[in-house]
Amino acid sequence: MRAEDPTTTAAPRRGVPVPRRLGAVVAGVVAVGVAAWVAVTRWAAVAAGHPSYGWLLAGLAVAGVVMLAWSTRVRRRRKRGGWNRAARAVPAVVLVLAAVAAGWLRPFPATADAGGPGVVDLSTSIELRPAGPPVGSGLVFYPGARVDPRAYVAILRPLAEAGHLVVIVKPPLGLALLAPAQAAGVVAAHPEVGRWVVGGHSMGGVAAAKYAEEPGSRASGLVLWAAYPADDLASRTGLAVTSVSGTADGLTTAADVEASRARLPSGTRFVAVPGAVHADFGDYGPQPGDGVPTTDHATAQAAIRQATLDALG
């Protein structure tokens, strides 16, 4: 057996260790950054909403950390085909898209007090309970898209004080159209209420209308706040509809409301609040794309509230 020469230098291995592609680093940083940004700037609103958004942020942060850890590993440089490289980029692209979606879902936070007697905050709803047994209709209310559900407590609290049970649902990811049947669970949980009205603001109104049109719906009334139905309800019998809108609304315009007449029952009551805008239907601050109000917030909300009380009977 031939002895090896100690002075012989081992042949270098093929390939040089190199970091994984920069895209993974960028994707990881974006994911962690968006999750942290939302948590820092909107934590109270996230905690007050449906738990699904908190889960999304947590999953995004974990995925971002995993992506960053993966990107710091080294690999041997070797030739790869175009399809292979494209496949390796897919996780990073998906993570960035998820981060963009999570950032867009960042909620508008409530700006008014949402506490007080009779307010019960549950994981998927906020109940405003009357001081005694409910003496009137119950209201299931769907918030507008990405709006903190607590933003509707102040404007709806007087309805509970008048003897109505009010339940503000917390939509998954803040989008009511993802779960228009939430009202069914509320109705089932409160057999003591004999008559139910469903309502909602903006996208929440669309979701409420979807529930109202279902064959098994218990809703005998529908209240639309700056909203209109996606489907035709004109032939729906036994449904009392009230449409409340603001004349200065820049998102659900007067023309939108007028066009919705053909999709609503002939007996629909239309209430136009002079000078009110989209954000007057809750307490969450200005909303991009909205109009300029020509009346004060309290006056607008008083008119909206009264129209809703009239609908509850």
Report the pLDDT averaged over residues 215-219: 92
User: What's the CA gap between 166 and 139, in Å, rounded?
Assistant: 5
pLDDT of 116? 87
Tens-digit pLDDT profile for residues 131-171? 988 888 999 999 999 999 999 999 999 999 999 999 999 99
Confidence of residue 174 (pLDDT cuts 50, 70, 90): very high
Confidence of residue 266 (pLDDT cuts 50, 70, 90): very high
Contact assessment for residue 75 and residue 20, using Cβ atoms and an 8 Å cutoff: yes
Q: How far is CA 251 from CA 106, 272, 278, 290, 307, in A?
A: 19, 15, 7, 6, 20
Residue of 213, 208, 225, 217 lying closest to 306 (CA atoms): 225
Report the pLDDT averaged over residues 240-254: 98
CATH 3.20.20.80 fits 119-312, yes or no: no
Q: Which residues contact 53 (CB under 8 A, 6 or more apart)?
A: 46, 105, 107, 172, 173, 174
User: What's the CA gap between 236 and 259, in Å, rounded?
Assistant: 18
pLDDT of 73? 72
Contact assessment for residue 269 and residue 243, using Cβ atoms and an 8 Å cutoff: yes
Confidence of residue 16 (pLDDT cuts 50, 70, 90): very low
Report the pLDDT averaged over residues 187-203: 97
Instruction: Kindly state the helix (H) or strand (E) to which residue 238 belongs, with its residue range.
Output: none
Confidence of residue 306 (pLDDT cuts 50, 70, 90): very high
Tens-digit pLDDT profile for residues 273-300? 999 999 999 999 999 999 999 999 999 9
Instruction: Kindly state the helix (H) or strand (E) to which residue 230 belongs, with its residue range.
Output: none
Mean pLDDT of the residues in the chain: 91
User: What's the CA gap between 213 and 131, in Å, rounded?
Assistant: 32
Ranges of each domain in the chain: 17-104, 119-312
